[in-house]
Amino acid sequence: AFDMLVVGGGPAGASAAIYAARKGINTGLVASRFGGQVQDTVGIENFISVKATEGPKLVAHLEEHVRDYDVDLMPHQSVSAITPAHEVGGLIEVTLANGAVLKSRSVLLATGARWREMNVPGEQAYRGKGVAYCPHCDGPLFKGKKVAVIGGGNSGIEAAIDLAGIVQHVTVLEFSDTLRADEVLLRKARSMANIEIITEAQTTEVLGDGEKVIGLAYTDRRNGEVHQVELAGIFVQIGLVPNTEFVRDTLALNPRGEIVTGAKGETNVAGIFAAGDVTDSPFKQIIIAMGDGANAALGAFDYLIRTPVP
């Protein structure tokens, strides 16, 4: 059995695994996709002490650093359930999607988050055929074409500004009557001639020709009128959903579905810790996730040395 089993291989999980291994304890790391969201990031300019880097480059460094330690790395494995120990200090069971069961005295969840979907007709059918979630990754595919960004928060307006430099025209559709993005971003977006912002617009359908996106339909919430916009791409930027489905019945989650954690990364179940975007920590950033992973690993280590094996 492991002393500490980390679930997730993003910045939080990688950091946690290194901190655990440096304590000389038996450490494992299971991840469906090593690197997590960082794998989808192009430019990173706020990872302090590294002026500028790229997601895949940072992920390669993360993996190299983890592999430098005695960590049992299990990539391409997804966890489907966690079963708490029968007694405090006992073994926690981690069930993989392939049916295998791993056992560990402590478990550190760092499963991160993923883009929220619109849940409208056509979205799934045209995913990757015009419906996109990552402007950094897919923006260049729409060079010279018309696109929409769904969502007027920081990520939506950032995406619009980013895309406006590549595509012909960007229509931003925001559901509410106000834009929630920072003023500095809104000012920048409004100064760009090829960005149009429409508020009180409820996207109702992704329209396609059977092969790719050709437009979208939205309802003007002021008067109920239905409009169609012709475009080639739709970037959905309506927030992040924490990857916590597999612990919904095991751990205390907040109303957003994030794992509620204490100062040492502890959850409401003894021996189970959490770090990074999957938790209720308010800001979701690489440097924060890494610090959080280190913090929770030290918290879990503290638990291990203080808790007798039953």
Residue nearest to ligand FAD as judged by C-beta position:
112
**Using an 8 Å Cβ cutoff, are 218 and 226 in contact?**
yes
Tokens describing residue 206: 């992704």
For ligand FAD, the closer of residues 201 and 253 by Cβ is 253
- 31: Cα within 13 Å, side-chain hemisphere: 27
The residue range among 1-9, 215-223, 226-234, 297-305 that interacts with ligand FAD, by the rule CB under 6 A, is 1-9
In the complex, what is the shortest distance from the CB of residue 5 to ligand FAD, in angstroms, rounded to a whole number?
A: 11
Q: Extract the tokens encoding 260.
A: 């509620």
Contact flag: residue 31 with ligand FAD (CB under 6 A): yes
Residue among 285, 261, 251, 298 nearest 112 (CA): 285
Q: Residue 93 carries which side chain, given as an amino acid letter?
A: E
Report the amino acid identity of residue 281.
S
Q: Say how far apart CA 176 and CA 183 lie, in whole Å.
A: 17
Using CB under 6 A as the binding rule, whether residue 33 contacts ligand FAD is answered as yes
Total residues in contact with ligand FAD, by rule CB under 6 A: 37
287 near ligand FAD, judged by CB under 6 A? yes
Least CB distance from residue 293 to ligand FAD, whole Å?
A: 7
* Beta carbon of residue 154, minimum distance to ligand FAD (angstroms, whole number): 11
> CA Rg, the chain, in Å?
21
Asked whether residue 157 is marked as a ligand-binding residue, the answer is yes
- Measured CA to CA, the distance from residue 248 to residue 190 in angstroms comes to 41
Q: Which is nearer to ligand FAD, 98 or 223 (CB)?
A: 98
- Between 11 and 271, name the residue whose CB sits nearer to ligand FAD: 11
243 binds ligand FAD (CB under 6 A): yes
The 84-113 site mask, x for binding ligand FAD (CB under 6 A), equals --------------------------xxxx
Report DSSP state, residue 165: T
Site for ligand FAD in 45-64 (CB under 6 A): 46
Q: Look at residues 94, 117, 119 and name the one whose alpha carbon lies nearest to residue 107.
A: 94
Beta pairing partners, 148: 171, 234
Q: Which residues bind ligand FAD (CB under 6 A)?
A: 7-13, 30-34, 36-38, 40-41, 44, 46, 78-79, 110-113, 134, 136, 243, 246, 276-278, 284-287, 289
